[in-house]
Structure formats: structure tokens, C-alpha cells
Amino acid sequence: MATVSLRPSSGVPQRGTARRVYGLCAALAALALALFASVMFGSRTTSFGEVVEVLRGTADLPLTTVVESRYPRTAIGVLAGLCLAVAGTLMQGITRNDLAEPGLLGINAGASASIVTATAFWGASGSTEAMWWALPGALVAGFMVQAIGSTRSGRSQVRLVLAGAVLSAVLMAYIQAVTLTKPQVFDSYRYWVVGALGGRDFAVLQAMLPFAAAGLLLALLLGRGLNALALGDSTAAALGARPALVRTGGLAAATVLSAAATAAVGPIAFVGLAVPHIVRMLVGVDFRWQIAFSAVVGPTLLLAADVVGRVVMRPQELMVGVVTAFVGAPALLVAVRRMRGNT
């Protein structure tokens, strides 16, 4: 018998629509604060009033230059946070596994390995090329983990996570072997692999947009199917859903979103794990609301982590990938404790 958790019976109460709408407004307000903080803080801190002056076009040139230089970083943070959070929600939905997220299931490592391979052996460069090269690696890694983690009776939560850990370890060893023998690749890889929002321009944002839009649209279309899938395959089929189609679509959307985020900002872990847990506590088990909230909470969390990284080691910076690891580790521990006895 598959060892899965049926979220509708997990004891999380369903929330009213009005309460969810108010919650979404509050989440949007938090995102607005994170946006302002992202353009306020840096090597030179600007005040709220100075940012408003820049937005109104009344600030002097040096101040305008400083604030506007943070726009690409902030915009890319929003899109990357959205991609990672929605991908995590989809992964937890299609696997019915509270520990599933693109990083833990090897998708980010697959995307990274694909980009490093293309850069080292085929001279790939540029943001758009990186997006396209990230896709096949992420897709192959996702399907391999699903195949390895499946049993004859279905999927095991522990087997999936272990399969993801093993595949990630193998891919990371491959990446290290390639980068250590290719100094020019290593120089760019060592900065990219930590996960950072800085040093990107609007060209990266333009390259991400089509992939993020396609993945988010597909995710929104799958909300009802994921709700049915949470009740079990047989019940979902009885309700008119097609479990295999929902899983395939969910994996495709999660792969596209993860690959786009990884190619743009590096393999940032734990956002896809922490955000679905936060969102589930806020809105309950309805995946239509979970996906909508994840698209707002994910960018807020990533921008907040980036701001913290800029402030705690000023004038130096702590990469956002390091900060999210500190945030995500407690979320992983909480998730593991909640699933005790459900192996």
C-alpha cells in the first residue's frame, strides 16, 4: 500500500473564502514592503523618502542611479521566488509528499549539471541559452527520481527523498569533476552555484518571463486536479480527474519553473519547501489557493532573505542561497516531525 498522507484528513481546517481574500491582501502588502526594502538596502542605505523621490522623478542623479541599479535584482527576485515556491507546491501535490521540493528531489541539481555540461563542452553562454539547457537536465532528473523512488505498490516518501539525495550527490560530484578540469567554467560556476540575485540585469528577467508564465499558467490549470489527487488515485478517478495526466502536467510545470529559476539565480534551496508549508497553514488544503498564495509568499521570502544577506555583513554581502538555507532548515525539521510514523 502506498505510504502517503491524505491532506484533507490531516486536521488542517478549511478556511473561508473571505478570510483567504483578506489573507491574500495581507500577503500582497508584505510583498510590497519587501519590494521597498529590496530597493532601500544595499552597500548604501537609502531612506523610504529617498526611494519615493526616485519613483516620483524628483531625486538627484547619484541617488537615482543607486536606487535604479537595484531594480533588476528586485524584479528577478520576485520572479525566482514565484517559480521556486509554486514549483514546490506542485511537487508536494503530485507526490503527496510534504518533503518534496525541487532541490531535495534533484531537479535543481539536474538543471545545474545540464548548464555546466553545455558551458564546458559546447561553449553555451547567455541567459536564454542557460534557460534552454537547464530544462532537459531538470526534466531527466525529475523523472529519474520518480522512477527510482517508486515501488510496485506506489511511491514511498522516504524512497523519493533518498532517491533525490542520491541523484543530487551524483550530479554534484559530476559538476565538481567538470568544473575542476575546466578553470574557465569553475570561475563562473563558483559564484553562480551559491545562489545570488545580484549581478543580473533585465536580460535575465526577459529570458525567465516566458518560462515562468508558461509554468504558472499550467500550475493554475492543475489546481482542481491536484485537489482530487490528494484524495487518492481511485477517488480522483471516480471524481473525473485523470491522475496520470495531472502528475505529468504538474511535473512538467514544476520542472519548467525550477529550471528557469536555477538558470537565472543558481540552485537556491528550501524556498520550495518552506513556502508550501507556510501557505498550507494559512489557507488550508485547497491547491488553487495554495498556488495563488505561493506566487506571493515565495517572492516575499526570497526578497526578505536577500535583504537580510545585504544587511548582516555590510559592506559585504551574504548570498541569498545561504540565507534561505538557514530559513529552510527549520522548516524541514518541522516537516519531518509532522510526518513521524508516516514512512
Tell me phi and psi for residue 261, to 5 degrees. -65, -45
| More reliable by pLDDT, 328 or 317 | 317
Sign of CA dihedral 277, 274, 156, 139: positive
* 130-143 residues labelled b (16+ CB within 10 A) or e (exposed): bbbbbbbbbbbbbe
Residue 19 lies in a domain: no
Residue 210 preceded by cis peptide, ω within 30: no
DSSP code of 8? G
Residue 197 lies in a domain: yes
Is it the case that residue 343 has pLDDT exceeding 50? no
| pLDDT one-digit tens code per residue, 72-89 | 999 999 999 999 999 999
Average pLDDT over residues 272-284: 87
pTM of the model: 0.85
Is it the case that residue 3 has pLDDT exceeding 80? no
* 68-99 residues labelled b (16+ CB within 10 A) or e (exposed): eebebbbbbbbbbbbbbbbbbbbbbbbbbbbb
Grid coordinates standing for 191?
A: 559564484
| More reliable by pLDDT, 215 or 14 | 215
The Cα–Cα gap between 111 and 168 comes to 11
pLDDT of residue 156: 62
Residue 211 lies in a domain: yes
Give yes or no for a contact between 111 and 262, defined as CB atoms under 8 angstroms apart: yes
Residue 8 lies in a domain: no
Grid coordinates standing for 101?
A: 521540493
Residue 318 confidence class, pLDDT cut points 50, 70, 90: confident
| More reliable by pLDDT, 125 or 8 | 125
pLDDT of residue 232: 83
Residue 68 lies in a domain: no
Nearest-CA neighbor of 291 among 228, 244, 221?
221
The residue range of the domain holding 131 is: 75-334
DSSP code of 234? H
CA angle 146, 288, 232 (to 5 degrees): 45
Residue 57 lies in a domain: no
Residue 152 lies in a domain: yes
Is it the case that residue 31 has pLDDT exceeding 70? yes
Give yes or no for a contact between 119 and 125, defined as CB atoms under 8 angstroms apart: yes
pLDDT of residue 134: 84
> For 235, what's the count of Cα atoms within 13 Å in the CB-facing half-sphere?
9
Residue 6 confidence class, pLDDT cut points 50, 70, 90: very low
Residue 99 is part of a domain; what is its CATH number? 1.10.3470.10
Residue 293 lies in a domain: yes
Residue 207 confidence class, pLDDT cut points 50, 70, 90: confident
pLDDT of residue 257: 92
Number of structural domains the chain divides into? 1
Average pLDDT over residues 27-44: 90
* 169-205 residues labelled b (16+ CB within 10 A) or e (exposed): eebbeebeebbeeeeebbeebeebbbbbbbebeeebb
| Average of per-residue pLDDT values in the chain | 83
| More reliable by pLDDT, 186 or 70 | 70
Q: Which of 7-11, 48-52, 314-318 has the lowest mean pLDDT?
A: 7-11
Grid coordinates standing for 12?
A: 488542517
